[in-house]
Chain A
Amino acid sequence: MATTVVLNQATLTVDSVDFSDQVSTITVTESYEALESTAFGDTARKFVKGLGNHEISATLMIAYGSSEVEEKFNSLAGTTFDVVVTPTTSATPGASNPEYTLTGCYLESVTPVNGGVGELPTMDVVFRGGALTRSTTP
């Protein structure tokens, strides 16, 4: 049976502020450094899991004003905080709505002004580092 997925209502919460209605793309990357464990006699290289090196990236529309995207992300640049992502709008995590939390991630840079005449101004942000957890528990 066919399965249809529409990633149309993903949520993005940054430092406890919901920016879901300002975001167009979200990417959660779960990555671990590959430590070589090849030994004499092996016929192929082997690796084991090293430190996690996770990141969450997103594209947001830049809006200006109190508590808007520009103000919030300007205050977050150079700091660490938590980011939560879910693939659907449901506030309840579950098997069909896994919740990814990047705890203590770092925001290296922001682009508070970005765009040309008439263009929709956007900001690409990358939240790096921190511990990534996946929850399906309501």
Chain B
Amino acid sequence: MPASGIFISAIAQIKAAVTALGYKPVTDPRNARPLTVFIEMPTFSGFNTNIADMTFTLRVLAPPPGNQDATNWILTAVDAIHESDDIAVTAGTPSIALIGEQQLPAYDLTVRLATRRN
């Protein structure tokens, strides 16, 4: 089904920003794998029927078992995303992502974005 609307537009903007940094954004959980940035569906506060104030969680995924190489890759990616002028990162925390039956070392970034229809 073709996707549309302000939420899809917001995700597209984040995907473009992550791509511009040289990282691979994914939105389909089936494609979430190490060395990608998984963009979860947003939570939001409605400003009115035209505008939504959204909060996304970006999951920076690295290969198991979470050794120093994985940590280095994660923190480098987190640093790049945090520095980006196009992504407003308000918080971050290390985590473990359960993808399928596999536990992946991860870092969850909280990103805020306001989008309007017109």
B48 touches A23 (CB 8 A): yes
With an 8 A cutoff between CB atoms, is B51 at the interface?
Answer: yes
Question: Which B residues are CB-close (under 8 A) to A61?
Answer: 47, 51, 114, 116
B116 touches A119 (CB 8 A): no
A21 touches B114 (CB 8 A): no
A21 touches B47 (CB 8 A): no
B116 touches A21 (CB 8 A): yes
Q: What count of chain B residues pass the 8 Å CB interface test?
A: 16
CA distance A61 to B112 in the complex (A): 15
With an 8 A cutoff between CB atoms, is A63 at the interface?
Answer: yes
With an 8 A cutoff between CB atoms, is A103 at the interface?
Answer: no
What's the nearest-Cβ distance from chain B to residue A94, in Å?
21
Question: Which A residues are CB-close (under 8 A) to B88?
Answer: 117-118
Question: Which A residues are CB-close (under 8 A) to B116?
Answer: 21-22, 61, 63
CA distance A9 to B111 in the complex (A): 29
Question: Which B residues are CB-close (under 8 A) to A8?
Answer: 48-49
Question: Which B residues are CB-close (under 8 A) to A1?
Answer: none
With an 8 A cutoff between CB atoms, is B30 at the interface?
Answer: no
B90 touches A117 (CB 8 A): yes
Q: Which of B50, B112, B117, B118 contacts A118 (CB 8 A)?
A: B112
B48 touches A24 (CB 8 A): yes
CA distance A118 to B118 in the complex (A): 20
Residues of A contacting B: mostly: loop
B53 touches A9 (CB 8 A): no
B90 touches A24 (CB 8 A): no
- Max chain A Cβ within 10 angstroms of own Cβ: one of B50, B51, B88, B90: B51
With an 8 A cutoff between CB atoms, is A91 at the interface?
Answer: no
User: What 0/1 readout, one digit per residue, does chain B (77-104) give for beta carbons within 8 Å of chain A?
Assistant: 0000000000011100000000000000
In chain A, residues 80-138, which have Cβ atoms closer than 8 Å to a Cβ of chain B? 117-121
A25 (CB) vs chain B CBs: closest residue: B48
A21 touches B112 (CB 8 A): no
CA distance A8 to B48 in the complex (A): 7
With an 8 A cutoff between CB atoms, is B106 at the interface?
Answer: no
- Max chain B Cβ within 10 angstroms of own Cβ: one of A23, A24, A119: A24
Pairs A-B, 7 closest by C-beta atoms: A118-B112, A118-B88, A120-B114, A21-B50, A120-B53, A24-B47, A118-B90
